[in-house]
Amino acid sequence: MLKPLALFVKHDGASARAAVTCRYKCGNACAHEVPNKSAGEYFGDIVAAMSRRRMLQGSAAVVLATGTAGLLAACGDGDDVRTAAETSPGTGTDFTPVAPNKADAVTVPEGYEQSVVIRWGDPVLPDAPQFDFANQTAAAQAKQFGYNNDFSALLPIEGQENGYLLVASHEYTTGPFMFAGYDEQNPTREQVEIEWAAHGLTVVEVKGEAGSGKLTPVLGKYNRRITATSEFQLTGPAAGSDLVKTSADAFGLKVAGTLNNCSGGVTPWGTILSGEENFNQYFAGEFADPAAKERGKRYGIGGDNNEPRGWERFDRRFDLSAEPNEPNRFGWVVEVDPWDPASTPVKHTAMGRFKHEAATIYVTPDGTVVSYSGDDERFDYMYKFVSAKKIQQGNTAAARKHNMTILDEGTLYVAKLTGDHPDRIDGSGKVPSDNGFTGSGQWIPLLETGADGKGRSLVEGMSAEEVAVFTRLAGDKVGATKMDRPEDFEPNPTTGKVYVALTNNSKRGTDGKPGVDEANPRNQNKNGQVLEIVDDHTGTAFTWSLLLVCGDPQAADTYFAGFDKSKVSPISCPDNLAFDPHGNLWISTDGNALKSNDGLFAVTLEGERRGETKQFLTVPVGAETCGPIVTDRRVLVSVQHPGEVDDASVEKPASHWPDGGSAQPRPAVVTVWKQDGGSIGV
């Protein structure tokens, strides 16, 4: 029997996200206790941080003017590489904004075209069968495009005109919408195995055509599916540790699969990073060891947190009482080499374990690699990893081998923020000064990993292995700043400034929960904000300001970097970030609390139009906009969970996108281009 979806724990109203999305996407995180019960920040170092800030402001321009030249070459169209000098501020955002709507369609601006690139179930491997909703098998799904695609990357294939690799992550599955007659209490083995095969990542070749942005999948030699059962290698200080050993892996080095792959990043050496996010939800039962139970709580694992999917019935590794270390093997940044389908993907433990939304890279002029990552949970932290090794240029086998070890050696930091106007932050969102919400910050080192792969803990009372595996606890100990769900981080390739989407936090300032601060300035924050950081990328000091305090621009508690609020699109729940070739920030949303479908927005960052925010597209009913890619002539988005609405079912779909008629909804990647073949937004 199909369990009526309305009986699921109702979302607490932070956003318009459906209860069924909460249940299957993040294990009902909002319905459970906030995992972070640590004492919180200490304020001892404010004076030192302020003086460092002044120093940084003087030197930042020099550092930032030269960074990340290599990064652009790795992503986007070959013809997309432009320098900031070629465009003026705001170039690339000249389109008529799409109005908020509830259409069961992808709605794009006038003068733009769209098409679906690939949908759930479309063949990826050469012998894959065509998708058949009523007759799915795990064997077929393992060769087809997975479910609920989130991140996407488009990498030009050298020597192929209009040939690209499309890499997508498949974050989570939703049984009630995947299978007719799904019984949540009693999923069948075949259904569960289909779900395992529908998780992970896809690498698929796509072919463009002259004069349009259309992309068509090709059954090419790079095509690959990675699932919840594919082999992964652990590297870094937790590899081989007792904390990650299981009965299936006595050495603690090989993990079966990747789970809840949310957003990600492209490295300058052409690999893909993917964040394992809400991995906690797949585990059932309870830890026998009280210490493990306590640590599990900080990650939302075990006991009251359980939202079991029944997977433990078909693989004991999902049963905490049988395999208490299995969850320690998820929550990492994974790196996949999409150019070698036979390669074993890696989980980098030097980068810490938490609910990684993504990992995105900035390369400093001296070749140091900095990776930024948010922990997407209410009141959790922001992190960066600074490599000890320098990047090697060139695409030789030796350079690639070297570069793929860069994220195994270096220092992991967590962020602490201090507002400039603590007395003027009252929880209403009132702007505290002419310059808006501003402050300074410091990166507190947690873990240093050396050339031998061994870690050195920088946190009192924790071993290096413990800092790597229980990074949240390390952040608690050093007084990191509790943020409003840090999602995507994105360094601006043109200016080097770093942006963070903070989606929302309905619990901010409520009973017994942390109150507001200047970076998280609203109580019961429903609409989120976007943070702009001027970082000394390899150092420990930074300054910050809020670029956007999102919501209805007519509401007093919103802020668009000082731009005229009567001239912006409403925006709510910022989630994923991307840059176009002109240096504009593009933001996709998750859970619009303003009674419209989610969308994609372009924001001007520099010059007089700084803060101008325009909606470029909206996605269908019940869907979330993910994985934006904005190149010169193409915009790609992931349409995740179309039709995921609480009173919907397979028998009564809330969406028929993209196939129309009476079809079931299917998550998919969409490409958008200008009808006249011109540059996006120009």
Q: For residue 50, give the H/E element and its range.
A: helix 46-64
- Residue 17 CB, nearest approach to ligand FEO (Å): 10
Cα separation, 190 vs 250, whole angstroms: 28
Contact segment (CB under 5 A) with Ca ion among 238-246, 482-490, 596-604, 644-652 equals: 482-490
Cβ proximity to ligand FEO: between 136 and 373 the closer is: 373
**Which partner, ligand FEO, Ca ion, none, binds residue 122 by CB below 5 to 8 Å per kind?**
none
**Which partner, ligand FEO, Ca ion, none, binds residue 646 by CB below 5 to 8 Å per kind?**
none
Cβ proximity to Ca ion: between 373 and 679 the closer is: 373
Cβ proximity to ligand FEO: between 357 and 408 the closer is: 357
Cα separation, 221 vs 204, whole angstroms: 9
- Residue 355 CB, nearest approach to ligand FEO (Å): 7
Residue of 404, 330, 396, 395 lying closest to 361 (CA atoms): 404
Cα separation, 415 vs 481, whole angstroms: 6
Q: For the residues of 83-137, what is the DSSP string, one character each?
A: -GGGS-TTTT--SPPPPP---SS-B--TTEEEEEEEETT-B-STTPPPP-GGG--
**Which partner, ligand FEO, Ca ion, none, binds residue 193 by CB below 5 to 8 Å per kind?**
none
- Under the binding rule (CB under 5 A), the answer on residue 484 touching Ca ion is no
Size of site (CB under 5 A) for Ca ion: 6
Q: For residue 175, give the H/E element and its range.
A: helix 175-178
- Residue 277 CB, nearest approach to ligand FEO (Å): 5
Q: For the residues of 287-353, what is the DSSP string, one character each?
A: -SSHHHHHHHHHTT-SGGG----SGGGT-GGGBTTT-TTGGGGSSSEEEE-TT-TTPPPEEEGGG--
The two structure tokens encoding residue 32: 């459970």
Q: Which amino acid is at 626?
A: C
Please select the residue that binds Ca ion; options are 249, 488, 517, 632, rule is CB under 5 A: 488
List the Cα angle 643/645/649 in 5-degree steps: 75
**Which partner, Ca ion, ligand FEO, none, binds residue 488 by CB below 5 to 8 Å per kind?**
Ca ion
- Residue 488 CB, nearest approach to ligand FEO (Å): 8
Q: For residue 51, give the H/E element and its range.
A: helix 46-64
- Under the binding rule (CB under 5 A), the answer on residue 590 touching Ca ion is yes
Cα separation, 600 vs 681, whole angstroms: 13
Residue of 313, 324, 338, 305 lying closest to 242 (CA atoms): 324
Which residues make up the interface to ligand FEO (CB under 6 A)?
Answer: 171, 262, 277, 357, 376, 487
- Under the binding rule (CB under 5 A), the answer on residue 249 touching Ca ion is no
**Which partner, ligand FEO, Ca ion, none, binds residue 277 by CB below 5 to 8 Å per kind?**
ligand FEO
Cα separation, 175 vs 187, whole angstroms: 8
- Residue 502 CB, nearest approach to ligand FEO (Å): 11
Cβ proximity to ligand FEO: between 93 and 263 the closer is: 263
- Residue 362 CB, nearest approach to ligand FEO (Å): 21
**Could you tell me the CA-to-CA distances from 527 to 547, 622, 671 in Å, in that order?**
14, 17, 27
Cα separation, 637 vs 385, whole angstroms: 28
- Residue 680 CB, nearest approach to ligand FEO (Å): 25
Backbone angles phi and psi of 644, in degrees to 5: -80, 80
- The residue ranges of DSSP E strands in 287-431, in sequence order, are 333-336, 346-348, 360-363, 368-374, 378-380, 382-390, 410-419
Cβ proximity to Ca ion: between 317 and 356 the closer is: 356
Cα separation, 27 vs 265, whole angstroms: 24
Cβ proximity to ligand FEO: between 169 and 411 the closer is: 169
Cα separation, 628 vs 590, whole angstroms: 12
Contact segment (CB under 5 A) with Ca ion among 28-36, 109-117, 346-354, 589-597 equals: 589-597
Pairing of β 360-363 and β 368-374: antiparallel
Cβ proximity to ligand FEO: between 277 and 465 the closer is: 277
Residue nearest to Ca ion (CB): 590
- Residue 631 CB, nearest approach to ligand FEO (Å): 23
Q: Position of tokens 């259309």?
A: 214
CB 455 within 8 A of CB 236: yes
- Residue 527 CB, nearest approach to ligand FEO (Å): 16
**Which partner, ligand FEO, Ca ion, none, binds residue 171 by CB below 5 to 8 Å per kind?**
ligand FEO
- Under the binding rule (CB under 5 A), the answer on residue 307 touching Ca ion is no
Cβ proximity to ligand FEO: between 217 and 528 the closer is: 528
- Under the binding rule (CB under 5 A), the answer on residue 575 touching Ca ion is yes
Cβ proximity to ligand FEO: between 176 and 374 the closer is: 374
Cβ proximity to Ca ion: between 540 and 638 the closer is: 638
Cβ proximity to ligand FEO: between 337 and 376 the closer is: 376
Instruction: List residues near Ca ion by CB under 5 A.
Output: 262, 488, 490, 575, 577, 590
